Amino acid sequence: MNSGRLFVISAPSGAGKTTLLKKVMGRLDGVVFSVSHTTRPARPGERDGVDYHFVTPECFAAMIDEGLFLEHARVHDDLYGTSREAIVSQLARGLDVVLDIDVQGAAILRRAVDLPASHIFIAPPNLTELERRLRGRGTESEERLARRLHNARTELAAAAAYDYLLVNDRLEGAAETLLAIFIAERARGHRHPSGAPIHLEER
């Protein structure tokens, strides 16, 4: 069985990454979402073990000490980390794994030569639109909003290091482009759009 492909997705908060991924992953077989660990509180509607593994700072620190994370970073005053065992086991089963992480974590994974990945950066049309989307959530204090916009500038500057840059200015068009990237990467790995291995036989 061909191993799966790791897709590393980064975007500033509010760029529409989660909405895009849901639209695309609903149209693909054999692709799973990596559930990261975080110390931040769950937002309304989020479920433990589905959106994130919500853990205490003490639990997160113990996991770091045990070397359980493939990468981990502090983002917006909270800690986020990716379980190495979960990623490796899913790839070995031939599943493509989508990993939603910040630019710090992506930079760490880019140096992991034993774990090749396709790196995709999703950007908003501009910072004005990003601020409008963040305010539309109604979940951010002015202080946290200002911090997210400040961090977005740093994150956008890191976009050049990614294999693909996708501007989410129109949801349907951006979703089609993201879907095309997944299918192209599967073809590069000698797999059908479904994710199944391609076996060429002489007739």
At residue 120's C-alpha, the angle toward residues 43 and 137, to 5°, is 25
The answer to whether residue 198 is domain-embedded is: no
pLDDT at 147: 82
CATH number at residue 54: 3.40.50.300
pLDDT at 67: 93
- As beta bridge partners, residue 166 has 122
The answer to whether residue 201 is domain-embedded is: no
Residue that has been written with the tokens 């939603």 in this structure: 100
Token digits for 63?
């996991």
Residue that has been written with the tokens 């190495």 in this structure: 84
The answer to whether residue 203 is domain-embedded is: no
Token digits for 62?
């113990």
The answer to whether residue 153 is domain-embedded is: yes
The answer to whether residue 199 is domain-embedded is: no
The answer to whether residue 196 is domain-embedded is: no
Given its phi and psi angles, is residue 49 left (phi above 0), alpha (psi -120 to 50 degrees) or beta? left
User: Could you list the mean pLDDT of each consecutive 10-residue stretch along the chain, which spans 203 residues?
Assistant: 88 88 93 93 91 95 94 86 91 93 89 87 88 74 80 91 95 96 95 91 61
Q: What is the value of pTM for the model shown?
A: 0.84
Provide DSSP, 133-146. Answer: HHHHH----HHHHH
Q: Which of 100, 74, 72 is nearest to 6 (CA)?
A: 100
The answer to whether residue 31 is domain-embedded is: yes
The count of structural domains within the chain is 1
The answer to whether residue 195 is domain-embedded is: no
Containing structural domain, residue 169: 6-188
